[in-house]
Amino acid sequence: DMKVTQMPRYLIKRMGENVLLECGQDMSHETMYWYRQDPGLGLQLIYISYDVDSNSEGDIPKGYRVSRKKREHFSLILDSAKTNQTSVYFCASSLWDNTEVFFGKGTRLTVV
Amino acid sequence: GDQVEQSPSALSLHEGTGSALRCNFTTTMRAVQWFQQNSRGSLINLFYLASGTKENGRLKSTFNSKESYSTLHIRDAQLEDSGTYFCAANTGYQNFYFGKGTSLTVIP
């Protein structure tokens, strides 16, 4: 079953705390993505990973970092979370040639 | 500027009617995808097209790379079609460019 799995689905953190969002896929996709979605702004790319330890900044990388130590896992880390990082975060994956992309169900992060 | 311009931004349809959503591209795109974001927030894959037309039930999508646009036609709209529809296109490199979405409301 082709799937992108995100954990957790909901998260509340205090400002200044560290946040770890996890993403897994079972399709052996080389490319993985982290997006955030905010009302009126659509989906914005935070980071893209082309394979293990091959990561590139997207359009809004500031305040985020990523880790990809296994092809099937891609983590998004917020060091010292800020209230403006409250958002819905989506992970996605695709084959190396950026063909069809598949999304996880999202993580709703609230930073208070 | 935005590489993908999606229209309309909002649309209301009575049950049983139909309409078309459109994405125009300001650069040459290699492929396009259409998604429905449902009330739970999940992004559901509707179509992936590198060219031509695909049809699935009451939905049909066309991608014309040469003329830089893609359309999603919905016919015989049902209540469960309500949601936000996004197109996403890529040039073959790196990122997908997303439209800002069309919010569709199907009215009984």
Q: Is the pLDDT of residue B92 over 90?
A: no
Fill in the amino acid letter for B25.
Answer: F
pLDDT of res. A102: 94
The answer on pLDDT for B94 being more than 70 is no
**Residue A69, burial from CB neighbour count under 10 angstroms (0-12, 13-18, 19+):** exposed
- Whether A59 has its CB under 8 Å from any CB of chain B: the answer is yes
Arithmetic mean of pLDDT over chain B: 94
Q: Do A105 and B98 touch (CB under 8 A)?
A: no
Residue of B45, B95, B100 lying closest to A100 (CB–CB) = B45
At residue B95, the pLDDT reads 73
Give me the residues paired with residue A72 across strands. Answer: none
In this complex, is the C-beta atom of B73 within 8 Å of any C-beta atom belonging to chain A?
A: no
Copy the structure tokens of residue B100.
């800002």
Q: What is the pLDDT of residues A21-55, one digit of tens each?
A: 999 999 999 999 999 999 877 899 999 999 999 99
Does B99 contact A48 at a Cβ distance shorter than 8 Å? Answer: no
Tens digit of pLDDT for each residue in A65-91? Answer: 999 999 999 999 999 999 999 999 999
Query: Does B90 contact A105 at a Cβ distance shorter than 8 Å?
Result: no
Count of pairs with CB atoms under 8 A, one residue in A, one in B: 47
Residue in chain A closest to B44 (alpha carbons) equals A103
Q: Using one digit for the tens of pLDDT, what is the confidence trace for A96-112? A: 776 789 999 999 999 99
CA distances from B6 to A42, A89, B38, B79 (A): 11, 22, 18, 22
**Chain B contact for A56 (CB, 8 A cutoff):** yes
